[in-house]
C-alpha cells in the first residue's frame, strides 16, 4: 500500500511537472514588469552616468575611475534595496560584492557575475560619433565605451533585483550573490587567488554571467562554450645599438629578420601550429558538437564575413575544419603586435638593435594557459636564429577554456526565460571564440556550472571604436533577469518535490552545494 501511494505521488508530480513545462511555452508576465513602466528614462540617465566614468582597468591613471565606478555601482545597489554591499580591494582593483537570502527555505543560490571596468579607448582609434566617455544617443543606440561590454547588462541586473525586492517586499525567490569585478579587461589577474581564499562567498549552485552576448535582436542564445587564452611577448636582440645598414649589413644578423623567421617557425604551411606540445589537452570534435555547430554555421559565416569586412574567410587550419569548428573548437596562435627599426617618414638606413612581438593564443578543451605559455617560451628559445638573442615572457593574460552541457538544468531554465523574452523564438545554442577568464576558473575550481544571460549583440563594436548598446536591450535584460530568477526558483521546487518521496527524512536536499543541482538533474532524467 505504501509503495502504491508512493508511486501515485511520484506520478502526480511527474505529470504536474510536465504540465508546468508545457504552460511555460507561452510568454509569462511578472508583476515586476509593471514596476518597470515609466522608468525607462530614469534607467537611461543612470546608464549614461555610469558610462561617463572612464573605468579603464588597463591604465594606471584610470585606477581612480575604476574605483569610482565601483562606488557608483555600490550606491546604486544599496539604492535598489540590496543589503550589505561591500567593496573588497583585490590587488589594485575593487570588487563589488553583495548577497541576498531567499524567502524560501532551501532555495538555490545563484552567483551573478559581471564587470564594470572597460577597455581603453581614445578618439584616435576612430571614435567619430562621440568621445568614448561622452555617451551619445542616436535613435535606438547609445554610443560609449563600455555600453555593450558590460555596463549595460550589469545595470539591468540591479534594476531587475530592485524590482523583485520592491514588488515582493524583499522576498527573493532564490539566494543571490553578486560578484562584480573591476579587472576583467586585463584578464582578472588578482581574482583567482582571492576567490580561493574566500570560497564561501563564491559557493553557489549556478553562475550566471551578465557578460556575454545574445545571438541577434530577435533571437536569444545559449552559450555553452568559450575559448581560453594566453599571451606572450618576444624580445629579440641583435647588435648592442642601431648600426649603419651599409657599414654592417650582410655581416651582422638583423633582429627583425630573426623575429620574422622565429614567428614563421611557429606555423606549418597548412596552418597548424608547429610549437611542440601546443595541442596537448585538445581532442577531436565530437559528433554532437559537430551537429550543434552545423545549426548555426551558415548564418555565422555570413555574419563573420560581414563584420570583418574581408573578401574571404581564411586562417587557422583552413583545410581541415569548417569555419565554425575553427572558431569554436580549435586553438589559435596570433601575432597581435610587432615593432622594431625605423617606421617614421622617409628612409633611415638602420640595422636595428631590437625587434619585438606580442602573441596571443586562444585555447580549447583541456588546454591550460600556463602550460601553453611555457611551450611557446621554450619554442622561442629553441628556434632563435644564430646571431640574435631571443627572450620571451608571459604577459599574464590567462583564461581557462569553458564548456558546459547544453542540456544541463541551468541551460534549460535559461531556455524558458529566452522563450519568454523573445516571444517563443527558440534560442540558438552557440559557443564563442572569445574568453572570460573568470568563468572557466570558477567552473574548474568550484565545480559551479555557468550560464550566460547578457544582452550585448555581436555588431556592437566592443573593444573597438564607436562601441554601442541598443537601448531596447535594457528592457529585455531587466525582464530576463526577473524571469530567470523566478523560473530558477520554481524549477528547483519542482525538482525537489519530484524528488521528495524517495528521500529518507534525515537526508535533506542541501541546495547550497553545487552537487545538489547535478543530483537533481539526474533524478529528473531517471523519471
Ligand X SMILES: *[C@@H]1O[C@H](CO)[C@@H](O)[C@H](O)[C@H]1NC(C)=O
Q: What does the binding site for ligand X look like in residue numbers (CB under 6 A)?
A: 126, 128-129, 235, 268, 270, 272, 317, 320, 356, 391, 393
Of the CA atoms within 13 Å of residue 197, those in its CB half-sphere come to 7
As measured in angstroms, the least distance from the Cβ of 315 to ligand X is 14
- Cα distance between residue 443 and residue 438, in whole Å: 9
Residue of 330, 384, 338, 381 lying closest to 359 (CA atoms): 338
Query: Look-up: residue for cell 603586435?
Result: 337
Torsion angles phi and psi, residue 406, rounded to 5 = -60, -20
As measured in angstroms, the least distance from the Cβ of 270 to ligand X is 4
As measured in angstroms, the least distance from the Cβ of 190 to ligand X is 21
**Pure H helices in 58-198:** 63-79, 152-167, 191-197
DSSP code at position 354: E
**How far is it between the farthest Cα atoms of the chain?**
102
Instruction: Between 234 and 408, name the residue whose CB sits nearer to ligand X.
Output: 234
As measured in angstroms, the least distance from the Cβ of 36 to ligand X is 33
Partners of residue 97 on adjacent β-strands? 86, 179
Instruction: Between 33 and 356, name the residue whose CB sits nearer to ligand X.
Output: 356
Instruction: Between 116 and 133, name the residue whose CB sits nearer to ligand X.
Output: 133
- Cα distance between residue 521 and residue 63, in whole Å: 44
Residue of 227, 216, 478 lying closest to 361 (CA atoms): 227
Instruction: Between 128 and 504, name the residue whose CB sits nearer to ligand X.
Output: 128
Instruction: Between 29 and 270, name the residue whose CB sits nearer to ligand X.
Output: 270
- Cα distance between residue 386 and residue 384, in whole Å: 7
Partners of residue 264 on adjacent β-strands? none
As measured in angstroms, the least distance from the Cβ of 391 to ligand X is 4
Instruction: Between 216 and 235, name the residue whose CB sits nearer to ligand X.
Output: 235
Angle between helices 152-167 and 471-499 (to 10 degrees): 50
As measured in angstroms, the least distance from the Cβ of 222 to ligand X is 30
- Cα distance between residue 255 and residue 241, in whole Å: 11
As measured in angstroms, the least distance from the Cβ of 184 to ligand X is 25
Instruction: Between 356 and 494, name the residue whose CB sits nearer to ligand X.
Output: 356
Amino acid at each position: 500500500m505504501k509503495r502504491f501511494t508512493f508511486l501515485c505521488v511520484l506520478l502526480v508530480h511527474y505529470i504536474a511537472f510536465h504540465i508546468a513545462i508545457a504552460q511555460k511555452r507561452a510568454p509569462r508576465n511578472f508583476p515586476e514588469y509593471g514596476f518597470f513602466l515609466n522608468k525607462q528614462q530614469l534607467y537611461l540617465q543612470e546608464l549614461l552616468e555610469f558610462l561617463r566614468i572612464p573605468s579603464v582597468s588597463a591604465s594606471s591613471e584610470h585606477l581612480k575611475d575604476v574605483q569610482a565606478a565601483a562606488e557608483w555601482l555600490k550606491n546604486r545597489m544599496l539604492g535598489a534595496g540590496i543589503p550589505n554591499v561591500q567593496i573588497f580591494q583585490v590587488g589594485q582593483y575593487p570588487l563589488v560584492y553583495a548577497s541576498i537570502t531567499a524567502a524560501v527555505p532551501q532555495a538555490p543560490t545563484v552567483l551573478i557575475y559581471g564587470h564594470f571596468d572597460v577597455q581603453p579607448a581614445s578618439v584616435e582609434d576612430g571614435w567619430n560619433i562621440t568621445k568614448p566617455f561622452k555617451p551619445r544617443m542616436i535613435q535606438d543606440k547609445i554610443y560609449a565605451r563600455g555600453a555593450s561590454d558590460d555596463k549595460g547588462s550589469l545595470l539591468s541586473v540591479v534594476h531587475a533585483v530592485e524590482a523583485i525586492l520592491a514588488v515582493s517586499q524583499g522576498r527573493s525567490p532564490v539566494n543571490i550573490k553578486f560578484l562584480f569585478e573591476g579587472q576583467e579587461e586585463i584578464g582578472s589577474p588578482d581574482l583567482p587567488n582571492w576567490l580561493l581564499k574566500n570560497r564561501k562567498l563564491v559557493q553557489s549552485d549556478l553562475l550566471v554571467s551578465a557578460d556575454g552576448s545574445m545571438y541577434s535582436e530577435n533571437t536569444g542564445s545559449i552559450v555553452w562554450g568559450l575559448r581560453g587564452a594566453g599571451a606572450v611577448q618576444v624580445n629579440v636582440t641583435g647588435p648592442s645599438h642601431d648600426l649603419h645598414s651599409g657599414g654592417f649589413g650582410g655581416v651582422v644578423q638583423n633582429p627583425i629578420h630573426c623575429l620574422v623567421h622565429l614567428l614563421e617557425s611557429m606555423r606549418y604551411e597548412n596552418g597548424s601550429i608547429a610549437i611542440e606540445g601546443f595541442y596537448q589537452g585538445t581532442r577531436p570534435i565530437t559528433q554532437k558538437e559537430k551537429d550543434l555547430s552545423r545549426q548555426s554555421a551558415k548564418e555565422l559565416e555570413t555574419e563573420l564575413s560581414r563584420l570583418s569586412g574581408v573578401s574571404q574567410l581564411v586562417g587557422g587550419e583552413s583545410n581541415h575544419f569548417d569555419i565554425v569548428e575553427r572558431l569554436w573548437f580549435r586553438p589559435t596562435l596570433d601575432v597581435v603586435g610587432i615593432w622594431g627599426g625605423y617606421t617614421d617618414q622617409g628612409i633611415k638606413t638602420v640595422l636595428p638593435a631590437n625587434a619585438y612581438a606580442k602573441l596571443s593564443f586562444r585555447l580549447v578543451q583541456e588546454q591550460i594557459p600556463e602550460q601553453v605559455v611555457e611551450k611557446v617560451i621554450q619554442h622561442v628559445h629553441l628556434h632563435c636564429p644564430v646571431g640574435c638573442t631571443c627572450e620571451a615572457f608571459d604577459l599574464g593574460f590567462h583564461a581557462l577554456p569553458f564548456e558546459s552541457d547544453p542540456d544541463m538544468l541551468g541551460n534549460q531554465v535559461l531556455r524558458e526565460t529566452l522563450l519568454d523574452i523573445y516571444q517563443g523564438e527558440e534560442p540558438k545554442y552557440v559557443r564563442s571564440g572569445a574568453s572570460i577568464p573568470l568563468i572557466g576558473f570558477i567552473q574548474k575550481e568550484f565545480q559551479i556550472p555557468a550560464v550566460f544571460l547578457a544582452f550585448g549583440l555581436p555588431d556592437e563594436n566592443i573593444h573597438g571604436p564607436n562601441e554601442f548598446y541598443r537601448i531596447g536591450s535594457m528592457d529585455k535584460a531587466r525582464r530576463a533577469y526577473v524571469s530567470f530568477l523566478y523560473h530558477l526558483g520554481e524549477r528547483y521546487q519542482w525538482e525537489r518535490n519530484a524528488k521528495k518521496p524517495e528521500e529518507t527524512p534525515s537526508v535533506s536536499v542541501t541546495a547550497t552545494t553545487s552537487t545538489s543541482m547535478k543530483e537533481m538533474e539526474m533524478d529528473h532524467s531517471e523519471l
